[in-house]
Structure 1
């Protein structure tokens, strides 16, 4: 197989990624490991890639205790993970985000592409947090990667690179862990892998894992009881890959990846709930504390993910190779939320119905199913000073989404308001189904891509690439129920085509210092908006948010300069980059006021500018230190306004020139330290610490309006008369720090450790979560409290 290392470092020692923890270093061995990555679909060392990239090897992941994307991000600058619970992570890179997606919106595509080896797995809100066990490395590619990775990689790409089957003999590992959350529940895991050569031409690799999450959120109930640790759950999954290598030129690797998540609740802390708060007089007052919420029914999240792919590599000649990647993904997600507070704000707050009606259980079911087929065929070659890759890509996405709000007993309770009285069944909605939607969705995409690197001299290289794409999206919209304007089987279609280019220049000032520059473009496909819930809208909001059937493609042009340095004879590396990203037609999700809907607007102009710095050093053989930081200023550069029925023009959803983009902080920093020391005979001890700082940020663009102070006018019809008429809250999320510690010992076969996550027990607000602009509920998704654990791993 053609697997060339980067040509500027022909004399460098290139080490394969470690598949085990860092080994003990002999006295005087201070050189940092050189990491081989495939960020440009060719093998090269991390220090040779001519743009900003971070890579966490399996040894580093195990050393830090990272098991999923969120825990990995604590050690990498420039990437932010919005944690809405396992399986519901939203990823942003370089501060480029238009706000948190709080419900599945099939038309909204991701801004960061996530790949498992060669197969794309990202899906807007539901990026699957696959377990890192037996992962070779995680690559974080900063900046647009549209040329090689397509639409979902507008601001960057995250890649899981798995361990492949090998012929070196039977090997494997087993790992067990247990942990306890401070004032919460218990969790633990069992994981293992097995590599077996079946012959000199066939080998297989099996990975299996099972993890129980302890809960830490307590849910107050209407009868005064409290359910403890309601957000516990289970994640289990595995992988099976078979390597078939008939000869030195051909390899065939079929694989299956699966994961199932079953959570009993969400990491949400309620600050105000219309059904459980201290301001009521006709209902029992309730003050909610840290890690507490008010619910009336049990919430849950279920996610079944399966990926089957086939990778074929064939050397056509000594200088040209072919790669074919075929993948099929099947995904089923069910989210059950307690919408009783939301429904109470409508039936009781807006319509004035009695307590017997507004306290009826109101479960909201969000169902998503998706089938994705992709095919990539590419060729790569190396001819003297020219190295190139070119290929074709095709994908077909069939996605089905629907919501159902079934309030059992509603019709028989005889509501009095004329908008609610009478039969509730509609053309598609059943009796007592107050909200119903059904949205089948298809997206077909074709692309032609290529990138070539050419050595202008022994020290200078230029890279030129482009991706030509064409897509068509079709949806059939059906909405029914009392809260909807009935829409039955309404077809919608959008299509687009374009080109995404990239030009990079690299120059070696010396063997150890490289500078680079690039201009690159990323894109995010447009889509179709859901209709707003007109019956719930005020006339002003209906005029403001209505009539927006679709939204355009989002494009980003990135200008970047950087430098990568190897210092102290290989004992240190210092990498830095400066970037400016110009964004056109930013897709901003806006909450449509009283309509209880979400609408995507295109913001004509926005930008993100900033820098990243990473420094790693081994000052002595037994010490290793790391520091990374990013500073980003990402802003809206255009006003988006609307004029209501009273001819009043106002800024929509906080989309005002000068406002910040949400979800990602301006400043992030991470520091790591590791100490290795001899124990007894063949045993080595180690102590690791990692520290993360995350700056202030917002969840949605609109949160920074009115000096970031939210003020909700409370409904006096629910629990009234009230002791106060408004509820004020801070919409800016405070900065926070996280400190993780790990102490252990290991030898050739065993590795045992004690660990502490969030050692200072800091409660971090990860995102703001409101319903009906805070009139139904105000809360935050919060981080896990201090967690103590023990883990042991046996490798053979």
Structure 2
């Protein structure tokens, strides 16, 4: 008798639990809990409309600014550890990081995760990194899991992250100030300052100014000098928002934002114990910076609203670093690389606003982006090179839905037509490439059932797409030295996702449950393949991923102010049709797990707030995140370790003052987040060591 695959059996059990959960809850659902004892109602705009989080028929996780402050989550990199199925894939610098969601990610080509500031797309051709999103003074962060190619387009094949900024308050002047100081195990000290000022400009306009600066502690060993506090970094972040609503039909919003992250050496390590930088000299550095200017207006009229958003982005990332290279007399390659890019991104959409069962949305998206890449290698294995890359794309998109059964059953269909023309000119090309055009039609189908006040179900089927790319001829030449045939031009890849979800509001609102099993078919899978620390964008073949997201939020009736949060993701991934040429050169085979895809991720946290007299209150938070072990990037012995990250925050505050102690990585995890051998010495990154600190705050 054939045995049942235990993975499929487990998934079947989850599906059964998804459908049968409400009858198993013994609470009287007709009894509403007091308002201060129910889970917070979060309103999101993930589908370009305002909706309560529990009513959105896709897999979305949202974090309010207050919740992030309570957990001492200062930036997007820390927030990602709270998202089931998401993890850091690669970081070059304290401000240059890349992420994957549900196993869909890679270090090269366009990002597989889309990033947005409000409605502004953060996309520059050739620069695959997330914006350094500080959580201070944000309204919320929304993380959409699964392909979002209909509404968010190219780059959102695995999911989308939206940083929703806090709008100016027309009602009065206000300001906030935060300052922190911390000590790092085995390293130096760090500090940060955050400030925000709100200025009303009459009764219908306002200005909000936000700035942050942080000095991060160095803890790496620079072997050539013996400095064991190498790798310190400086991060500066700023934002200015002007917002006006001269009438109830018109709103104008202007934003200018920027970030600069500068670090000694970078995050890459040649050894973990002690953490030893790959850098060859004290002058090595990594730099990432961007400036973003965006203007958006919304006009409401006749049962619809028109929103138009235009964004200009200028971004630069720069690396001067030594990497291990056994063929060099010094044992190192000294590498300089700089990518300077700019982008003009525009979206206009028209959205229905009425009580009709028929709802619709139409829009267009245009992007024009250029990037100049400079690179040199010492010793001069190859001549210095420059590459000029360009992309011009246009998308048309639409969604329509109809509500049946007194609005309890909603059927939706969406479509996005996409065309992208790309070009590259390089001084190192013996023959210049002709421009390439990539196009795709990406549908989405969704069926949502409001079964009761306690239960909502949905089925979501969506296609994701990513444009092709170009490899550097220098990188190709190094890979061919390593035995891997190389192509300068890389074709597009696409993904189909099938997701069944359920969202429950139980125990009178005290318990929220979200469950979402899924299956993803990734065709022409592209991955970053390393040789001697340099990466090739390679089309490996096909792959499949399936799993389930689960999240719970519970506030017990017996203890006011106490809440628990739990979330987890189980994800199975495998290559199903590997390119034979790649398989022979890299030793990969069908059935192998995808690199940097943990089988399990999960978080468990508790927070408690209590009154201290009439004016003061106490706050406590304790959270544990688990990230399972991961395979490295196609090299013997390259793997990332399983990690458990414990963080805590405790303190007191009133309406104006606050003092809190905090700790990050309290278990002192020092294993690898990222590892690759690249047919050369293994290179690692790791979590920041244990950090203990204090924060003071002032609001007025």
TM over 0.5: yes
Question: Is 1:322–2:306 an aligned residue pair?
Answer: yes
CA distance in 1 between partners of 2:647 and 2:293 (Å): 35
Q: CA offsets, 1:320-342, max 9 Å, x none? A: 11000000000122111114x32
CA distance in 2 between partners of 1:46 and 1:537 (Å): 47
Moved more, 325-334 or 489-498: 489-498
TM superposition shift of 1:391? 0.4
CA distance in 1 between partners of 2:317 and 2:245 (Å): 37
Assess, with a 3 A threshold, how the Cα gap between structure 1 residues 733 and 362 changes in structure 2: closer, same or farther.
closer
Gaps of 5+ in 1: 1-25, 272-287, 349-357, 408-431, 480-486, 644-649, 704-709, 711-729
CA distance in 2 between partners of 1:598 and 1:83 (Å): 12
CA distance in 1 between partners of 2:171 and 2:215 (Å): 33
CA distance in 2 between partners of 1:257 and 1:488 (Å): 40
Contact kept in structure 2, 1:391 and 1:448, CA below 8 Å: yes
Assess, with a 3 A threshold, how the Cα gap between structure 1 residues 145 and 534 changes in structure 2: closer, same or farther.
closer
Q: CA offsets, 1:650-692, max 9 Å, x none? A: 5243442101111120101100101222224311112110101
Question: Is 1:290–2:261 an aligned residue pair?
Answer: no
Corresponding residue for residue 237 of structure 2? 237
Question: Is 1:42–2:49 an aligned residue pair?
Answer: yes
Corresponding residue for residue 674 of structure 1? 607
CA distance in 1 between partners of 2:554 and 2:479 (Å): 58
Corresponding residue for residue 357 of structure 2? 385
Q: CA offsets, 1:25-80, max 9 Å, x none? A: x9883111100000000000000000111001001100111111111012221111
Contact kept in structure 2, 1:741 and 1:757, CA below 8 Å: yes
Assess, with a 3 A threshold, how the Cα gap between structure 1 residues 134 and 540 changes in structure 2: closer, same or farther.
closer
CA distance in 1 between partners of 2:180 and 2:43 (Å): 30
Corresponding residue for residue 226 of structure 1? 226
Q: State the secondary structure of the residue aligned to 1:29.
A: helix
Contact kept in structure 1, 2:475 and 2:535, CA below 8 Å: no
Contact kept in structure 1, 2:268 and 2:278, CA below 8 Å: no
Corresponding residue for residue 300 of structure 1? 285
Give the TM-score of the pair, scaled to structure 1.
Answer: 0.80
Corresponding residue for residue 413 of structure 2? 464
Assess, with a 3 A threshold, how the Cα gap between structure 1 residues 53 and 294 changes in structure 2: closer, same or farther.
closer
CA distance in 1 between partners of 2:480 and 2:490 (Å): 23
Q: Which of 132, 135, 151 is the equivalent residue of 2:135?
A: 132
Assess, with a 3 A threshold, how the Cα gap between structure 1 residues 536 and 525 changes in structure 2: closer, same or farther.
closer
TM superposition shift of 1:177? 0.6
CA distance in 1 between partners of 2:479 and 2:149 (Å): 39
State which structure, 1 or 2, has the greater radius of gyration over its C-alpha atoms. Answer: 1
Corresponding residue for residue 694 of structure 1? 627
Q: CA offsets, 1:189-224, max 9 Å, x none? A: 111111111112321111011111111112111xxx
Contact kept in structure 2, 1:176 and 1:792, CA below 8 Å: yes
Q: CA offsets, 1:331-374, max 9 Å, x none? A: 122111114x32xx2234xxxxxxxxx36x85311101010001
1:534-573 → structure 2 map (5 Å cutoff): 541=483, 544-546=484-486, 548-573=487-512
Corresponding residue for residue 190 of structure 1? 193
Assess, with a 3 A threshold, how the Cα gap between structure 1 residues 269 and 145 changes in structure 2: closer, same or farther.
same
Corresponding residue for residue 425 of structure 2? 476
Aligned length: 660
TM superposition shift of 1:82? 2.6
TM superposition shift of 1:294? 5.9
Assess, with a 3 A threshold, how the Cα gap between structure 1 residues 109 and 533 changes in structure 2: closer, same or farther.
closer
TM superposition shift of 1:540? 8.3
Assess, with a 3 A threshold, how the Cα gap between structure 1 residues 525 and 655 changes in structure 2: closer, same or farther.
farther
1:150-549 → structure 2 map (5 Å cutoff): 150-221=153-224, 225-271=225-271, 289-293=273-277, 295-298=279-282, 299-317=284-302, 319-339=303-323, 341-342=324-325, 345-348=326-329, 358=330, 363-383=334-354, 384-407=356-379, 434-458=382-406, 459-479=408-428, 487=429, 490-531=432-473, 541=483, 544-546=484-486, 548-549=487-488
Q: State the secondary structure of the residue aligned to 1:110.
A: coil
Q: State the secondary structure of the residue aligned to 1:569.
A: helix
Q: Which of 775, 782, 786 is the equivalent residue of 2:686?
A: 782
Contact kept in structure 2, 1:584 and 1:603, CA below 8 Å: no
Question: Is 1:765–2:698 an aligned residue pair?
Answer: no
TM superposition shift of 1:122? 4.6
TM superposition shift of 1:589? 2.5
Gaps of 5+ in 2: 1-32
TM superposition shift of 1:387? 2.1
Q: State the secondary structure of the residue aligned to 1:92.
A: strand
CA distance in 1 between partners of 2:481 and 2:656 (Å): 69
CA distance in 1 between partners of 2:496 and 2:476 (Å): 37
Assess, with a 3 A threshold, how the Cα gap between structure 1 residues 260 and 549 changes in structure 2: closer, same or farther.
closer
Q: CA offsets, 1:300-338, max 9 Å, x none? A: 111221000000111122x11100000000012211111
CA distance in 2 between partners of 1:597 and 1:640 (Å): 21
Q: State the secondary structure of the residue aligned to 2:597.
A: coil
Contact kept in structure 2, 1:61 and 1:67, CA below 8 Å: yes
Corresponding residue for residue 83 of structure 2? 76
Give the TM-score of the pair, scaled to structure 2.
Answer: 0.90
Give me the CA root mean square deviation: 2.1
Q: State the secondary structure of the residue aligned to 2:77.
A: helix
Moved more, 374-383 or 108-117: 374-383
TM superposition shift of 1:597? 5.7
Q: CA offsets, 1:477-516, max 9 Å, x none? A: 222xxxxxxx357234211222111010011221110111
Assess, with a 3 A threshold, how the Cα gap between structure 1 residues 475 and 265 changes in structure 2: closer, same or farther.
same
CA distance in 2 between partners of 1:590 and 1:652 (Å): 11
Assess, with a 3 A threshold, how the Cα gap between structure 1 residues 454 and 294 changes in structure 2: closer, same or farther.
closer
